[in-house]
Amino acid sequence: MKDLFERIVNDKGPLGKWAEQAEGYYVFPKLEGNISNRMTFNGKNVITWSINDYLGLANHPEVRKVDAEAGVQYGLAYPMGARMMSGHTKYHEQLEKELAEFENKEAAYLVNFGYQGMVSAIDALVTKNDVIVYDMDAHACIIDGVRLHPGKRFTFQHNNIESLEKNIQRATKVAEETNGGILVISEGVFGMRGDQGKLKEIVALKEKYNFRLLVDDAHGFGTLGEDGKGTGFEQGVQDGIDVYFATFAKSMAGFGAFFAADKEIVQYLKYNMRSQMFAKSLPMPMVIGALKRLDMLRTMPELKEKLWENVHALQNGLKDQGFNIGKTNTCVTPVFLEGDIPEAMAMVNDLRENYGIFCSIVVYPVIPKGLIILRLIPTATHNLEDVKVTIEAFSAIRSKLEAGIYKRIAASMMEQKTKV
Ligand SMILES: Cc1ncc(COP(=O)(O)O)c(C=O)c1O
């Protein structure tokens, strides 16, 4: 028999094994200064393209003021306890009412974290007799929610409606035997590659099959549809989404999240979602702050307009320079390049140190071997100069990548390391 920690110390996990080379720089970097288009990294001023503050609310003076005042008035502790027991307030209720109206649903329910909330909602919505059908590229919170499911589950190929239909047919057979129902789960916007979930086509399948649809719209809320109401509105199928989910962690620049659905479904979630029944309620400054942010979404269309001006400038500029930005039809802007992981690291180091550009890097195993995604998140705080500087920098690093310069840098760094 082994000591439990023996494995943990020896096998640090797929990401943990890179910690020595990556920690503090590629992972767990410290971005300092006010959240905006320019922040400080490693003592240098950089253009930040890695923060989901789509509408620029994080450091908006009106938001900062309301957050601060709510902090002074209520502190971070209030209310104490779970919603069901002692953590319920009129502000939680008001926010839920306003979110439901905004999303054109009968009711809404707040959760403390999007990730936890999604795991718990999936757990609550299905029993062992039910079948889940979900997109292969789904976010970890969906995958982990499905892991709790004691019944059958099927995946469908990413955004592939033919594959979805086949799997709904398989699910239907199972559900007929178990006398259960079917839950289909997709996303409004897939956060890595930036393509919208094909909600219109998924909803159309409801004509032929009996299933309910849960949509995670973390990146669509605030950025797509009228007033940022999300991907359901963008595609004109909000009514076909049975359970709508969005987090406050992106466009709302806060934390917390919510589900919106028919009254009876929300009522069920209130009494059966374990992440809320057995955890402390969302703190008051978050709730009051979210009310303010929601008001700004409704009344300040210029924020979303500015965001999209930047998105279009960035995406068109990259395409004009021959960059492959995949199938994005949202703000998420992936730039696809080819190279191995050490090359990718040398390239990102060059971008940060010599060009003042801070963006996220995605490599294997998240995407296939040999592919690199530099992922850019435009926000309303960026400007056209940021876009110009970034596209010039990207053109320069692509030339170096193609000339094999990063391969050589990475090889010589490895050599030096082995000498030491
Ligand atoms: C698609 C998606 N769902 C859920 C979450 C989790 O939300 P939260 O940060 O509120 O836990 C995220 C990331 O934040 C996300 O990108």
The DSSP string of 191-258 is TTT-PBP-HHHHHHGGGTS--EEEEE-TTTTTTSSGGG--HHHHTT-GGG-SEEEEESSSTT-SS-EE
What's domain 6-54+301-419's architecture? Alpha-Beta Complex (3.90)
State if residue 242 touches ligand 1 by the CB under 6 angstroms criterion: no
State if residue 103 touches ligand 1 by the CB under 6 angstroms criterion: no
Which has the minimum average pLDDT: 9-23, 229-243, 358-372, 400-414? 9-23
The tens digit of pLDDT for each residue in 171-216 reads 999 999 999 999 999 999 999 999 999 999 999 999 999 999 999 9
* Ligand 1 centroid distance, CA of 120 (Å): 13
Domains 6-54+301-419 and 62-299 share a fold: no
The tens digit of pLDDT for each residue in 383-418 reads 999 999 999 999 999 999 999 999 999 888 777 766
State if residue 347 touches ligand 1 by the CB under 6 angstroms criterion: no
- pLDDT of 236 reads 98
Query: Could you tell me the residue ranges of all domains in the chain?
Result: 6-54+301-419, 62-299
243 against 369, higher pLDDT: 243
- pLDDT of 56 reads 98
Sign of the alpha-carbon dihedral angle for 13, 15, 18, 21: negative
Tokens 């199928």, located at residue: 237
Closest CA to 216 of 196, 236, 234: 196
C-alpha dist (Å) from residue 257 to 260, 272, 364? 10, 17, 30
- pLDDT of 418 reads 61
How much is the pTM?
0.96
Q: Looking at the predicted structure, is the pLDDT value of residue 19 above 90?
A: no
CB 114 within 8 A of CB 247: yes
CB 390 within 8 A of CB 378: no
- pLDDT of 21 reads 80
Q: Is the peptide bond before 365 cis (omega within 30 degrees of 0)?
A: yes
State if residue 352 touches ligand 1 by the CB under 6 angstroms criterion: no
CB 83 within 8 A of CB 269: no
- pLDDT of 419 reads 61
* Ligand 1 centroid distance, CA of 415 (Å): 39
Which has the minimum average pLDDT: 23-27, 47-51, 76-80, 95-99? 23-27
CATH of segment(s) 62-299: 3.40.640.10
Provide the β-strand partners of residue 150: none
Per-residue burial over 92-122, b = 16 or more CB atoms within 10 Å of its CB, e = otherwise: beebbebbbebbebebbbbbbbbbbbbbbbb
Closest CA to 311 of 338, 283, 332: 332
Which of ligand 1's atoms lies nearest the C-alpha of 250? Answer: 14
Quickly state the pLDDT bin for 327 (edges 50, 70, 90): very high
- pLDDT of 12 reads 83
Tell me the average pLDDT of the chain: 96
Sign of the alpha-carbon dihedral angle for 397, 401, 405, 407: positive
326: left (phi over 0), alpha (psi -120 to 50) or beta: left
Q: Which amino acid is at 164?
A: L
Mean pLDDT of 102-128: 98
